[in-house]
Amino acid sequence: MSILIDMNLSPDWVAVFQAAGIEAVHWSTIGQANAPDTVIFAYALQHKYVVFTHDLDFSAILAATNASAPSVIQVRTQDTMPASIGPAVFQALRQFDSSLQRGALVTIDMAKARVRVLPLRQP
């Protein structure tokens, strides 16, 4: 699994993922800091990254486009630093690894993690 970290999360996450043996890159080292989420989404899709983010824009893109990739992990907490939510993120990665490999939206907060398989179908 390779993770593309969105601009709204600290670049500190790169070293944390790499220490766990997970390839990771922060968007600031790839593209423009003010790039629209659609550009980041397209890059992740083309290069087979899982997007790691703190906002809802990527889940909205998944829903609007009925996309089956890329997978997205969104954290829904105020404190998004690795020291605070790292254990919850790695637990979710282990728990939902196979879903993320196939295409999924994983939402993590301090109470629980949830997964929705892609594409996100409208009721």
Instruction: Read off the pLDDT of residues 18-75 as tens digits, 9 standing for 90 and up.
Output: 999 999 999 999 999 999 999 999 999 999 999 999 999 999 999 999 999 999 999 9
Helix (H, G, I), strand (E, B) or coil at 23: strand
Within 10 A of 50 (CB to CB), how many other CB atoms are there? Answer: 23
Tokens representing 109 are 């907060």
pLDDT band at 111 (very low <50, low <70, confident <90, very high): confident
Identity of the residue numbered 15: A
Task: Average the pLDDT over 70-90 and give the result.
Answer: 96
Query: What is the reported pLDDT for 122?
Result: 56
Compute the mean pLDDT over every residue in the chain, rounded to the nearest whole number: 95
Instruction: Examine the pLDDT at 9 and tell me if it is beyond 70.
Output: yes
For residues 95 and 92, give the distance between their C-alpha atoms in angstroms, rounded to a whole number.
5
Identity of the residue numbered 120: L
